[in-house]
Structures are given as structure tokens and as C-alpha cells.
Structure 1
Amino acid sequence: MKAALDVTEQLRLLRENYAQQLPAKLAQIEHAFRQRDNMLELTNLRHLAHSLAGSGATFGYPALSVAARQLETLVDAALCDGRPLNPTEGDCAARLIEALGREARKPMVPAPTPSLPASNVPEAERKLIYLVEDDAALATDLMLQLGHFGYIVKSFESPKQLLETPVDPLLAAVLMDIVFPQGDLAGPEAIIQLSIVRQLRTPVIFFSSRNDLTARLAVARAGGAAYLVKPIDVGALIARLDSLITDLPPEPYRVLIVDDNGPLASHNAVTLQSIGISTDIVTDPMTILAHLDDFKPDLVLMDMYMPGCTGAELAAVIRQLHNYVLVPIVYLSTETDTDRRLIAMQLGADDFLTKPITPEHLVSAVSTRLRRYRVLRSHIEQDSLTGLLNHAATKDRLATETARAARQQAVFCVAVLDLDHFKNVNDTYGHLIGDGVLKNLAELLKRRLRRTDIVGRIGGEEFVVILPDTDAKQALALLNELRDAFSLVRQRANRNLTFTTTFSCGIAEFELGLNASDILRLADQALYQAKQAGRNRVALANLDEGKAAEARILVSE
């Protein structure tokens, strides 16, 4: 509710600011009209009318939008013929400008409270797990294993203890054994009781050495989300947890708003931000390339007519960029001419939204496009085994991050990870078990790294981690922590056999003058040194003074 009130207040302030700026906007229109025999001023008049047509209704002046749209159409017809306004058109334009003044002096139409869907981004990521298990050794082991993947585990020896404990609001899931001294189905019975008394909303994963229909039916009747047979494969458990904890916040959608009408761009940005969408505003279309590199939008929401270039021309430029061939471009404009719309769409846009637009309609149209794009991008960029970025996508992200860091003089690090003696794992246990090891490492990286970090699989057992805004010292500490955690994860070969494995890592820190290939090569050289030094190590490549192509390796065990 607080977020909804904040959005309403922000929109109210934007409407008030718009009303205060209207006299100045009308003065600009009158000045351009007085100079209408000058074709540059006539072009400016069309642009000013276009701006009011698109924004007036949004800010509580619907009749002003109508008059401004008529003025824009009138002036546009003359400009298309390459001539100034004739006397009849001039008289009509003067009447429309007078109408704009009258409408601007009227009280703004009260805005309805926008009925926007609630944001699905929680305040904090939930990692708390309740574990109910009377085998102390198994409970301790599970707590340690889950801890390696970033979960916080609270253990209970009996269902009774769980029932007597208030449910933590940050609880993400419950892991419950089935058999206890209190009964062979005491676990499912306790969950049913807890659900009735406290309305338990979190998923419950049951586990047991039992694998009979009676136990499985009891779990189904208790609403169990999953059933695992002991001994528990931690990799399978982590995969189930990640699939069931649906409120973990996804990477926020990013929308780049390109509109020289600043107040209207801000209004649309606030509307989209209210549902958790991150926005960036470009009011000068000539600066869009820097915004694309820095912001990396999932969708571009763009006006059709702006000073310097049209939206259609800008769309054509965006489509020239390899990384933005598939990014949706949606026009938000007052343009209603069908032929112009078709031409604009042919140059690279995906959709047309007509100004003015209600917040609900804007959210619905943009969200639909964003979801489709994310699905399409995941199919193209994801490694099919681990769900991480594939080789090509990782290289693209590294190039983008390198360009951003060079432009902003920022710091970042690249780490190359390689599993130690992985061929022996495949030869000893089989490729299916080897795939499980790769997936476990991928899960650990996804769980333990920040959402801003970029993780990809670039080869059979080789991974790349890109750490924005992270220096070499911080990266070294982080990767050593991950290395230690992974070395303690028990990989399961079969019901009775487990083993552990390790990885080696090389880290390189970006410095001005390096390109993406340079920094990846330096990280690879550091990885080689870590392997040579005995494996299960992290090596840091530092550039020697005056030797930008060579590396001095610091190895950390």
C-alpha cells in the first residue's frame, strides 16, 4: 500500500509541475507562430504542438491535447508541402493557439488513482530454511551443505518443536522428514496441522528412506511440493529449492525511455517503476548510444518526433547494433497516419502506442513485450545444461562491461574457473554424474554471487564470472570463499558413494587500455598459473608497469 501511495504522490507532483510550466510552453508556441514564415520556426511550432498533444491529457488537460493535435496536423501538412502556412491556415492556427490558452487556464481534470499491479519484487531475498530432522548427524550435514549454497538453515529435532515456533516471515521453505518416533507419518501430519493453524504458505519438501505409496500419498495429502528419497542428493535438493522459491526477485526489467518531453518521460518512468521496472530517460536522442551501453535495456520506449532525428531514424540506428537486434522498440506517439506508422515499423520498431495513454495500458503493453523478450533471450543466450550464459553471450557481456568501464573509468574483474581433474570425474563416474557436478557449481555461483554479477559457461568445465565495480582484492577474497565452499559440497555418484571436487581460478582486473580479449587472456594466464601451482587455488594477474600485455601472478591457496 505504501508503494501505491508513493506512486500516486509522485504522479500528483508531476501534474502540478506540468501545470506550472504550461504558460512558458504556450509562450514558446506563440513566439514560433509569430515567426511562422521562417521554415525553421514553423518546424519548431510543429514540434511544440506535438509535445503538448502527447502530454496534455496525461497531465489532466485532455481538451488541450485535442487542440494541440489539430495544430500539429495543420502545420505538418504545410511542412510536407515545403511551404509556409497560407492565410487561411494561419487564421485557423491562431484560433487553435487561443484555444490552447483557454484550456490551459482551466482546472486540470482530477486524475484517477492508477490501478497498477503490485510489484513482485520483495524487499529482501528469502533464504531461510526450516529443517525438521531427528537424526542429528544428518541435520548437521544438511545444514552445512545448504549453507555452501547461501541458505540459512534453522534445525528442529521434532515436528512438535516446529509447531511451537512462530513462523519467521522470511521463511522460504520447510524440509521435513516423514518418520519420527511420534509416528511413521508424523511429518506430513504436522504440516497439515501447521497449515490449518497458521496458514503455512511456504513450500514443503519431504524426504525419507521410505519410498512406498502410503508415504507418498501422505505427502500429497499434506500438500508437499516435492518428495526426495534418502540419501539426499544435495544438488537435486538445491535445484528443487530454486524452482519452488518463486518469490526470489528476478533481474528487474529495464526500459529506456527516449522522449524530449521531460515531464511526460518522467511520468511514464514513475508508472513503470511502480511495478519494479528499472528505467532510464533520454531527452536528447543524440546521446542514446551511451545510454544503451550503460543501461543495457530490455525494451526501448520511444517518441516518434524529436529534435535532431526522428524515432524511426533512431530505431534504424539501434538495429545496426549487434546486441540490440532483438530488443523490442515501442513507439509512444500521437502519430495516427497509417502509412507513416508502417514506414516507421519497417525501420525496426515492434509496436505503436498512442499518446495519451493510461498508466494501466502502458504497464500492460510494456510488460507483455518485456516477458516475451526475456523468454526469447533466454533461449538464445542460455547454456542448456547449467542455465548460465553460453559462450557467445558471455563474450558479448564482457565486451559491454569493458566498454562501460573504459567510458566511466570504473573497475571490474573477470574470473575464469576450471574444474580440477574433471576428466577423471567423467571417466570414473560417468558423464551423467559429471553433468551433475557442473550443475552444482553453476547453482553455487548463482546462489552466492550478486544479481549484478555475470556468470557464463564458456567451455566443457570452464566458467567465467564478471564482477562489476569490484577490485582485485575483493574478487580474490570472494573467489577464495566460493572455492572453499565448493570443495566441501559432496557430489553424489550413487546411493552409497559421494565424492568432492575442486576448481582453480584466475582473476584479472580491468585497467584502461585493455580490451575484452586482453582481460580474458590475462585471467586465462592466471588460471594456468593456478593449475601449475597445484590446483584448488586462485591466482591473481596484475599488470606490471609498462607491460600491458604481460602478467605477474599472485597465487592464493
Structure 2
Amino acid sequence: MDKNAEIALKLQALRADYAARLPAEIQQLRSLVEHLTKPNPALQLDALNQLRQRLHKLAGSAGSFGFPELGKQAKKLELQTQAWIDSNQLDLGLVRVFAVAVAALDGLAQNDSPKKTPVVSQLAPLKTNTLIYVLEDDQDIADEVCMTLRHFGHQVEHFSTIAAAEVEVLRRPPDFMICDIMFTEEGRETPEAVAIMQQQLPVPIPVIFVSTRTDFDAYHAAVRAGAVGYFVKPLDIIRLVDCFEYYLDRNRSAPHRVLIIDDDLELAEHYKLVLSSADIRAEVINNPREIFEKLQDFHPELILLDINMPGCNGAELAQVIRLNQDWLRIPITYLSSELDEEKRANAMGRAGDDFLSKPMGDRELVTAVSVRAARSRQLSDALDRDSLTGLLKHSRIKEQVDVELSRAIRSGENLSLVMLDLDHFKQVNDTYGHPAGDKVIKAIAHLLRQRLRKSDAVGRYGGEEFVAVLPRCGRDEALALMEDVRQRFGEITFTVDQRSFNVTLSVGIAAYREGVVRAEQLLHEADAALYRAKAEGRNRICI
């Protein structure tokens, strides 16, 4: 049995163990409720605190293990215990109703059916060096989160107390942390502890917080501790992993691209060097007449534009840029020493989006540009990328074919275009359901993102059809790369309702050669090669 299939079985065993322990846990709750009827204030308060803690854990974990209704009801009961604690008084009539509700939890535990979600396993997991610390005092949830993350090839360490994590974080900082907010037995909340740790680290650690809390204070504390995500229990583990992977993809992605347009060439070059030192790719032009060629070739995510330039001032150039529909989405920030409020207002009213004042310190420049370029990419991704896979949409991947073909024609460099399709995908949807089909789609998208280079572009061309644009990649190199992808994907096992299945790929590759001048030609040839691969029996590559 391969490693990840074994993990999948362990996950199922965890859910079974959880279900087996539920009757005893509910019986313990019923015993604590009986203490509420005793005429002993100290005993009542102790019982209330224990009830709140146990119900809190049950509310957070039940849904994750296939008992959503049980989790919802436990949350309601937890809120009632908290209200009694806050008011410092018990209503015996309500206690009797409460006791009936606790007794009814047993029925919910028996009637709820375990959640059936496809589990993806790989024979050869893709290795990463990502070190993740999971801070969670609920062992069941911790085990599932850790196993799922390891399943995707990450190095994971679990800490059941904040104190243990604090020592290790300062000794060996991880790349990422996933933390529960409340550690009941320690009487501590994680955001405050994490915020203190962050101050002692040279580089802050990105954190995803998980909790049953949905109040503003919990979210606010999470932000102060460096949160990049917040998930409410019961956990949707797949969504959590998606958030984590999205963050990694975003931070592994290509540098931001910034175009500086300024007639002061030395200053512009200074800005370029400063931005380059912060891993921001910057290009400079000081002649507005070069704008069309530079936009077409460089595709900036942000334009820094001086207002006062001879011949064509910044406000006029901004309007020239805005006349082309292809460049409407590129944000234009004026970077100028202009102090006249009327001129600044006029420039902002004529196609500009923002204004930064010269002189500007290096750190301020990097921060201002980083924030604006990141926001530009985020908005562009929302428009350009498929919501299920995070890959480029049909129209945008076709544009990338155009861009890279034009570059290959000018430079004479290699270019390969790959078109691939999932074999018999309709049968997957018909047999196992559309959620299973979505898992398959996301699996191939994830594999493509991991195996291809930063400079490659990958898009979802249709329902189960994908296109990859591989610049500076000859056909033999493309063949070797896609053969690796084909084999790896064929080894992935998907499981739904204890039924396992595999899905294969058919691939067509077209390599740029002299005489190909239109993207449609290259796409047509790749499509023809894909059609041949399917006609010859599928699960193969044709060139």
C-alpha cells in the first residue's frame, strides 16, 4: 500500500474512533447536567465550566467528523452555558429543558451520517520544504489537519499546548502556522501569544486561525497576530488547504511588474534598483512614444508616471493609455513632486488612480509600490482566473499564447504549446457525482502548478481541457515534462464512498517553428495532436 493511501485509511479510522467515543462523551455531559440541579453553588459553577469546555470542543469537532447537526446543537448548548456563567444564576426550569436537549445529542450522534468526501492520494507525493506548525488542543482535529497537510507533501509538526509551541517557534521558526484560538486547559488564547512571538522573529510567520468564535474581537486579534486566513469550526479541511496553497502559490509567484515613466532617467533608474532589491521587476522609459511597445512586451501590473514631462505630460499620457481597452485595468499612480493642488486634482481626474509625492524614501517607495501592485494582481486574478482551479480563464490563456508567440517570433527562442484533456471525465461525474469531478479538476490543476515553471502559463480552456504555454521550451523538453505529469496524474487515486478510481490524461503538443505567425495556428495544431492521442487509445501524448 502506498503512503498516501495509508494516510487515507488512517483518516477514515480517525472518524470511526471519534464516532465510537461519542456515546461516552454524551454520557459525561449528562452527568455534568445532573450536578446543575444540586443545591451547591460551587459544584454548579464547576459543572457549568466543564460543560462549556466540553460543548465547545464538541461544537468545533463534530461537523469535521461527519456530525454537522450534532455540532450545531452543541454550539447552542455551549452558548447557553456561557450565558449562565455570565449572569451567575441558574433557572431550574431552563436547566430541565437543557437536560432534555443534552440527552437528545445521543440521537443526533446516531442519526448523522459521516461526511463522504473524495480523498486524493498520490503514489509519489510532490516534496516541498514547507514546515508547518499546527497548534491545536483537540487531538482529533489536529490529527486530521496534520494528515491532510502531510498528504500534500508538507512537513508538519503538532503542538497540543501554546507553551510547547512557543519554545520551538523561537528555536526553529516554521514557514506557516495553523492555530486554534482557544486553549482551554492552559487558559490562554493563541492570537496574543502569537503576536508576542511575531515581535521576536526577524520575519513574521503567516498564520491561519481556526475557532468556533465568530465575534469581531476574535477576528481583530487574529489580524494583529499576522492572520492570512480564519476558519470557523467545524472545519472544512479542503477549503483550509486551498487557502494555505493559495497563499504559498501567491508568494512563490513571479515578481510584480512595474513600469516607471519619468523624464528624469537617473531618478527612474534609482527607483528601478530600489524596487529590484525588493524582488520587484521594474522597467523604465523616458520617452512617452515608447509606451505602446513597452506595454505590449512587458505587461506591467502598475504604472508609476511623472506628471511634468516635456512634449506629453503625465496626465495626457495616462489618457493615451486609457484609450486602449486592453490596458484599462492597469492602475496608474502619479509619482511627482507637483505641489499645486489644482494640477494634482486635474491629473487625478484625467485617467489617474493614485498620487505619490516626491521625494519618497526607498522604504516608503517599496511599501507603496508593493501594496498597489499586489492589489492590482489580486483584482486581475479575480477577473482572469477560474474560480475552481485558480488557473487562467479561456480568454486569458489565449492572450498568453499570443504574447509568447510574438516574443518567440522576435527572439527566435523555442516555444511549446500543450493541450491536455481528462479521459472519460463525463463518466466520473455520472458515476461518482460532480463534487468528485471537481476534486479531479482541482488535482490536475494543482499538479500542473507544481510541476511547471514560474514563467509558464496554465489555463483552464474548457470544462476538463487545459492549455499550458511553455516559453523557451523545445518539443523534446515539453514531451519529457508532460510525460512526467501524465504518469504522476495516472497514479493519483480518488476515493468516494469507499470506491476508488483513477483518471488518465491525453496530451497534444505543438512546438513553434518558422512560418507559424498566429496563435490560432499553434492552438489548432495542439488540438489536432490531442485529438490524435484520444483516437489512438487515450492516456498518451502526441506531438
Whether TM-score is above 0.5 comes out as: yes
The residue type equivalent to 1:500 in the other structure is N
Is the aligned partner of 1:150 residue 2:140? no
User: What SS does structure 2 have at the residue aligned with 1:306?
Assistant: coil
- Greater helix fraction, Structure 1 or Structure 2: 2
The residue type equivalent to 2:428 in the other structure is V
2:364 pairs with 361, 366, 369, which one? 361
Counting matched residue pairs gives 370
2:439 pairs with 436, 439, 462, which one? 436
Is the aligned partner of 1:310 residue 2:309? no
> Could you give the per-residue CA deviations for residues 13-42 of structure 1, whole angstroms, max 9, x where no partner exists?
xxxxxxxxxxxxxxxxxxxxxxxxxxxxxx
Task: State the 1:386 CA deviation.
Answer: 1.1
> Could you give the per-residue CA deviations for residues 438-492 of structure 1, whole angstroms, max 9, x where no partner exists?
0111111112111111111121101111111111111111011101000001112
Q: Which residue does the alignment assign to 1:195? A: 165
Structure 1 residues 147, 374: CA separation in 2 closer, same or farther (over 3 Å shift)?
farther
Structure 1 residues 320, 255: CA separation in 2 closer, same or farther (over 3 Å shift)?
same
> Could you give the per-residue CA deviations for residues 68-100 of structure 1, whole angstroms, max 9, x where no partner exists?
xxxxxxxxxxxxxxxxxxxxxxxxxxxxxxxxx
The residue type equivalent to 2:430 in the other structure is D
1:130-529 superposed matches below 5 A: 145=121, 148=124, 150-152=126-128, 170-173=129-132, 195=165, 197-199=167-169, 201-202=173-174, 203=176, 239=242, 242-243=245-246, 248-494=251-497, 496-512=498-514, 513-529=516-532
Kindly indicate whether the alpha-carbon contact (under 8 Å) linking 1:412 and 1:509 is maintained by their aligned counterparts in 2: yes
Unaligned 5+ segments in structure 1 are 1-130, 153-169, 180-184, 207-214, 228-232, 541-557
Kindly indicate whether the alpha-carbon contact (under 8 Å) linking 2:121 and 2:494 is maintained by their aligned counterparts in 1: no
Q: CA RMSD in A?
A: 4.0
The residue type equivalent to 1:504 in the other structure is S
> Could you give the per-residue CA deviations for residues 141-178 of structure 1, whole angstroms, max 9, x where no partner exists?
xxx956755325xxxxxxxxxxxxxxxxx542369996
User: What SS does structure 1 have at the residue aligned with 2:527?
Assistant: helix
Structure 1 residues 235, 487: CA separation in 2 closer, same or farther (over 3 Å shift)?
farther
Task: State the 1:345 CA deviation.
Answer: 3.2
Cα distance in 2 for partners of 1:443, 1:421 equals: 20
1:53-202 superposed matches below 5 A: 145=121, 148=124, 150-152=126-128, 170-173=129-132, 195=165, 197-199=167-169, 201-202=173-174
User: What SS does structure 2 have at the residue aligned with 1:309?
Assistant: coil
Structure 1 residues 403, 522: CA separation in 2 closer, same or farther (over 3 Å shift)?
same
The residue type equivalent to 1:426 in the other structure is N
Task: State the 1:272 CA deviation.
Answer: 1.9
User: What SS does structure 1 have at the residue aligned with 2:455?
Assistant: coil
Structure 1 residues 149, 312: CA separation in 2 closer, same or farther (over 3 Å shift)?
farther
Cα distance in 2 for partners of 1:422, 1:275 equals: 44
Unaligned 5+ segments in structure 2 are 12-119, 141-145, 147-156, 192-207, 212-235
Kindly indicate whether the alpha-carbon contact (under 8 Å) linking 2:258 and 2:303 is maintained by their aligned counterparts in 1: yes
Structure 1 residues 134, 390: CA separation in 2 closer, same or farther (over 3 Å shift)?
closer
The residue type equivalent to 2:126 in the other structure is G
Structure with greater Cα Rg: 1
Is the aligned partner of 1:534 residue 2:493? no
Task: State the 1:225 CA deviation.
Answer: 7.1
Cα distance in 1 for partners of 2:391, 2:241 equals: 16
Using the aligned pairs only, state the percent identity.
Answer: 38
The residue type equivalent to 1:362 in the other structure is L
Cα distance in 2 for partners of 1:256, 1:501 equals: 44
Cα distance in 1 for partners of 2:361, 2:249 equals: 30
Cα distance in 1 for partners of 2:509, 2:249 equals: 33
Kindly indicate whether the alpha-carbon contact (under 8 Å) linking 2:133 and 2:159 is maintained by their aligned counterparts in 1: no
User: What SS does structure 1 have at the residue aligned with 2:419?
Assistant: strand
Task: State the 1:133 CA deviation.
Answer: 12
Cα distance in 2 for partners of 1:350, 1:260 equals: 20
Task: State the 1:404 CA deviation.
Answer: 2.3
Q: Which residue does the alignment assign to 1:87? A: none
Cα distance in 1 for partners of 2:272, 2:287 equals: 16
Q: Which residue does the alignment assign to 1:61? A: none
Q: Which residue does the alignment assign to 1:58? A: none
Cα distance in 2 for partners of 1:368, 1:137 equals: 44
The residue type equivalent to 1:198 in the other structure is E
